């Protein structure tokens, strides 16, 4: 997703960096199951990353996130196939 700086300020819990000096991204991946979301976050944390937010389970959708070693934010989502269409 591309977003204006104003919109990106609403999305990111961290201050924006100067894009002429730093790279700034939030990365999102869709997973095949709730278990895959949780497993990937666990692996990232075990490798030295940190939890971005607690898991959010809405029944039809499960989300979690982490920061990698460089501080990039990763959001992981599983959505029930019946709800995704």
List domains and CATH numbers for the chain.
25-76 (3.10.180.10)
What are the start-end ranges of the H helices in the chain? 5-11, 34-46, 81-84
β-pairing, 73-79 with 61-67? antiparallel
Q: Are 52 and 73 in contact (CB under 8 A)?
A: yes
Q: What's the start-to-end Cα distance of the chain, in Å?
A: 20
Kindly write down the DSSP assignment for every residue of 14-26, as one continuous string: SPPP-TTT----E
pLDDT tens-digit readout, 25-63: 789 999 999 999 999 999 999 999 999 999 999 999 999
pTM above 0.75, yes or no: no
């Amino acid at each position: 997703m591309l977003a204006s700086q104003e919109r990106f300020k609403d999305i990111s819990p961290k201050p924006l960096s100067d894009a002429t000096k730093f790279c700034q991204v939030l990365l999102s991946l869709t997973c095949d199951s709730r278990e895959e979301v949780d497993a990937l976050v666990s692996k990232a944390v075990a490798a030295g990353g940190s939890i971005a937010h607690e898991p959010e389970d809405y029944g039809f959708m499960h989300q979690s996130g982490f920061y990698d070693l460089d501080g990039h934010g990763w959001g992981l989502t599983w959505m029930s196939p019946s709800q995704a269409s």
